[in-house]
Amino acid sequence: MPRQRHGSEPKPAGQELVIPALAVGFTAYYFWTVQELAWEAKANGVVIGAILLVLVALLLLRMGLQLARGDVSLRATLGGDRATDRLRLGLLGLCAAFIVVLPLLGTVISLALVLFAAMWLLGARHWPSLIGVSLVTPLLVWATLIVGIGTRFPLGPFEHAMAALLGLPGLD
Amino acid sequence: MELDLATLAELFGRSFSLWWAILPGIALGLVVGVLPGFSPQNTLIILLPVTLAMDTEAALAFMISLYCANHLSGGIPAILVNIPGSGGAAATCIDGYQMTKKGQAQQALVLSFVASVAGGLITSVAVLALLPFLAQLGLVLRSVEMVVIILFGLTLIAVLAAKDMLKGLIGGMFGLMLGAIGTDTVYSTPRATFGFLELYDGLPLVPVLIGLFAISEALVMLEERFTGTPPAQSRAAQWKDTVEGLWMCVKYWWQITWTAFLGLVVGVIPGAGAYIASFVAYQQSRLFSKTPELYGTGHPPGVIAPESANNGVTSGTLVPTMAIGVPGGSTAAVMMIVLQYQGITVGPRLFQESPAIAYGVFVMMTVAYIFMIPMVMPLARYASRVVTVPVHYIVPLILALTVVGAFADREYVFDMVLALVFGVIGYIAVKSNYHVTSILIGVLLGPIFERYLLRSLRIGQGDIMVLFSSPIANVLWALLVISVVLPIWRERRLARTAA
């Protein structure tokens, strides 16, 4: 049974293992992909991977000692409340949805929709600002990045209509 | 290219001709510097599609102006509302806000602006004078030394910038490991690409940067309702206050000068940065003051010292980036990515291969500070209003624009997904005290590290002991070991003393 310092709850430290777990998992995968390659192809990864594994082992050792002293527990928390975490997941979901609809609706319409939905999700209810930001930002992106710089963003009904209307080369 | 007066004059002429990139950079830097938590690298990330499309010199001029102006304006909310716009302005709060409470807000702002501009100007001119010596580094640093320098740089960042050295080191090595994704340079065989063709050229830096910094920071910002609190009512500023502030600056000119140099020295150390520089300057200023008891009560040198050092850091941070190819901080890392995209490899050979860029960066910085002098006063009044922009407008804008920016580099939708993945990794890293800058610098230096390591191993015919074969490298190894062991030893000694 770990000893617990009287008067204080052990600090949750499970979250501190996520990055090392990712690092170790990735290193193992890297070693697996290079096992049959020539030494020149794997030297770099092996040197870095070995150092990384030693560092993670040291972290685990330190955490093990803290656990034994009862200073920390393996409970994981990122410090946010549930409502904010839900908002975070909602925003990430909206970003993922944006990437999915981008080839179908084009950059301007997708961006306008995602901006409006994200601001609404975060509690913005001032209609002029909501509509203004959702319309002006995609139009600026269209004018600077698509028309001005010529980045080949996915085009949709808006971009095609504007290209036909204004006779923009390469966009219709 | 020798750095003589004619060359300097030519570089200054070229920098002044880039006014069209410098002025918007300064204006934008001043405005976003006021937003607490909105760092210069985030602004640069949002604007990546624009900077990547510019020619190299214009892009650099824009980024440097934005960076310097951002360091300057971080002091505005620190003075007016006791919230630092950036980490480097945290020490300014101590006396700056006290001056505001005493009705001396305008004097404090003038002190902050003059100290910042003078500090930035003095140190960028000083670095220009030192550059011919730094350029010699390219002649003595070879592959073996570069391998150790990269590891030493990552270690310093972990020791100085990360809250926990071990986690900082894990972050840096994880980044280096991620930087090893892609085909190898000799046989072009894919390594750890998860089967994605898009990763054969290595991990694309722009989506990684966007994810680790911008997206993760936007997710963290959700915990705040506003980016700051509305400014308290203060007495309307008058011209008399401005003149009084200027007179104080003349009175404390020596304070401005030596704290600027202190900032420069701290800035040169990778990972140290503006936060450490401004607090060190504040402490030292108090230590050598004849009236230390006045610090913390609205004493002018308490504003001058951190602001001057904070801006002295700007040129210092770029020294290791340009001279050895190890970025001194996150904004320098963003600049390095843009330069790499333009085909320019920073590091010891930059002074031989692209001297106009190597020297030009510091000339542009000097010019940016000169342009800032007439711009900063009128903009300050309006910039402080940005503090109260609600998070529910800022966060969606950052997220949407940066995800769009991830596409602009290689024009792959895959990169947008990658940015989101690294956004989540960055968020977890921030919330569990892993230093995201270490991870990014690791990813950035990964391919460069591999190149130098392979070259060294080839010279040593596969023997790893070649890394200990050079006197310079051995000195660097010793410093690396000391920089890791010393903090642990000090911590143990302190713990024993406390017990």
Is the residue at B497 inside a domain? no
HSE at residue A99, side-chain half, CA atoms within 13 A, is: 22
Quick one: A41 and A95 in the same domain? Answer: no
ipTM: 0.90
Is the residue at A171 inside a domain? no
Which residue do the tokens 């915990």 mark?
Answer: B223
Question: How far apart are alpha carbons B457 and A46 in whole angstroms?
Answer: 13
Quick one: A135 and A157 in the same domain? Answer: yes
Q: Is A167 exposed, middle or buried (0-12, 13-18, 19+ CB in 10 A)?
A: exposed
What is the mean pLDDT of the segment spanning B489-493? Answer: 83
Q: Is the pLDDT of residue B163 over 80?
A: no
Domain that holds residue A159: 82-166
Domain that holds residue B236: 5-142+200-423
Q: Is the pLDDT of residue B236 over 60?
A: no
Is the residue at B301 inside a domain? yes
- Per the model's pLDDT, the better-predicted residue between A113 and B246 turns out to be A113
Quick one: A89 and A51 in the same domain? Answer: no
Mean pLDDT over each residue of chain A, to the nearest integer: 87
Is the residue at A21 inside a domain? yes
Lowest mean pLDDT among A26-30, A141-145, B10-14, B350-354: B350-354
Is the residue at A87 inside a domain? yes
Quick one: A88 and A157 in the same domain? Answer: yes
Nearest to B174 among A43, A52, A79 (CB): A52
Which residues from A are below 8 Å from B443, CB to CB?
none
Tell me the nearest-neighbour CA distance from B492 into chain A, angstroms.
14
Is the residue at B166 inside a domain? no
A31 touches chain B (CB under 8 A): no
Quick one: three-class SS letters along B145-168? HHHHHHHHHHHHHHHHCCCCHHHH
Q: Which of A39, A73, A107 is the last residue of a domain?
A: A73
pLDDT digits (tens, 9 = 90+) for B84-135: 666 677 788 888 888 887 877 778 888 888 888 888 888 888 888 887 777 6
Cα nearest neighbour of A37 on chain B: B189
What is the mean pLDDT of the segment spanning B28-49? Answer: 72
Instruction: Answer whether B420 sits within 8 Å of A19, measured CB to CB.
Output: no
Quick one: A158 and A102 in the same domain? Answer: yes
Quick one: A46 and A92 in the same domain? Answer: no
Residues 6+ apart with CB under 8 A from B26: B65, B66, B68, B69, B368, B371, B372, B375
For CA atoms B293, B295, B298, B300, give the dihedral sign: positive
Is the residue at B412 inside a domain? yes
pLDDT digits (tens, 9 = 90+) for B291-347: 888 888 888 899 999 889 888 888 888 888 887 777 767 778 877 887 777 778 787
- Computed on alpha carbons and rounded to an integer, the radius of gyration of chain A in Å comes to 25
Is the residue at A106 inside a domain? yes
A74 touches chain B (CB under 8 A): no
pLDDT score at B226: 46
Which residue do the tokens 């904010």 mark?
Answer: A84
> Of all residues in chain B, what percent carry a pLDDT higher than 70?
88
Question: How far apart are alpha carbons B438 and A3 in whole angstroms?
Answer: 35
Residue pair A55/B166 in contact (Cβ under 8 Å)? The answer is yes
Tell me the nearest-neighbour CA distance from A60 into chain B, angstroms.
11
B-contacting residues in A 119-138 (Cβ below 8 Å): 119, 122-124, 129, 133, 137
Is the residue at A3 inside a domain? no
Is the residue at A53 inside a domain? yes
Q: Where does the pLDDT of residue B227 fall: very low under 50, low under 70, confident under 90, or very high at 90 and above?
A: very low
Domain count, chain A: 2
Instruction: Answer whether B424 sits within 8 Å of A87, measured CB to CB.
Output: no
Quick one: A69 and A104 in the same domain? Answer: no
Q: Where does the pLDDT of residue A25 fall: very low under 50, low under 70, confident under 90, or very high at 90 and above?
A: very high
Quick one: A116 and A152 in the same domain? Answer: yes
Q: Where does the pLDDT of residue B45 fall: very low under 50, low under 70, confident under 90, or very high at 90 and above?
A: confident
Question: How far apart are alpha carbons B249 and B115 in whole angstroms?
Answer: 7
Quick one: A48 and A118 in the same domain? Answer: no
A46 touches chain B (CB under 8 A): no
Question: How many A-B residue pairs are in contact by the CB < 8 A criterion?
Answer: 189
How far from each other are the two terminal CA atoms of chain B, in whole angstroms? 60
Quick one: A88 and A160 in the same domain? Answer: yes
Residue pair B213/B39 in contact (Cβ under 8 Å)? The answer is yes
pLDDT score at B382: 57
Nearest C-alpha neighbor of B41 from the set B398, B377, B495? B398
Instruction: Answer whether B192 sits within 8 Å of A55, measured CB to CB.
Output: no
Q: Where does the pLDDT of residue B376 fall: very low under 50, low under 70, confident under 90, or very high at 90 and above?
A: confident
Quick one: A54 and A101 in the same domain? Answer: no
Interface test with A, best of B407, B440, B481, B491 (most A CBs within 10 A): B407
Is the residue at A172 inside a domain? no
| Alpha carbon distances (Å) from B247 to B54, B296, B299, B486 | 41, 21, 14, 44
Instruction: Answer whether B462 sits within 8 Å of A39, measured CB to CB.
Output: yes
Is the residue at B488 inside a domain? no
> Of all residues in chain A, what percent carry a pLDDT higher than 90?
52
Domain count, chain B: 1
Is the residue at A133 inside a domain? yes
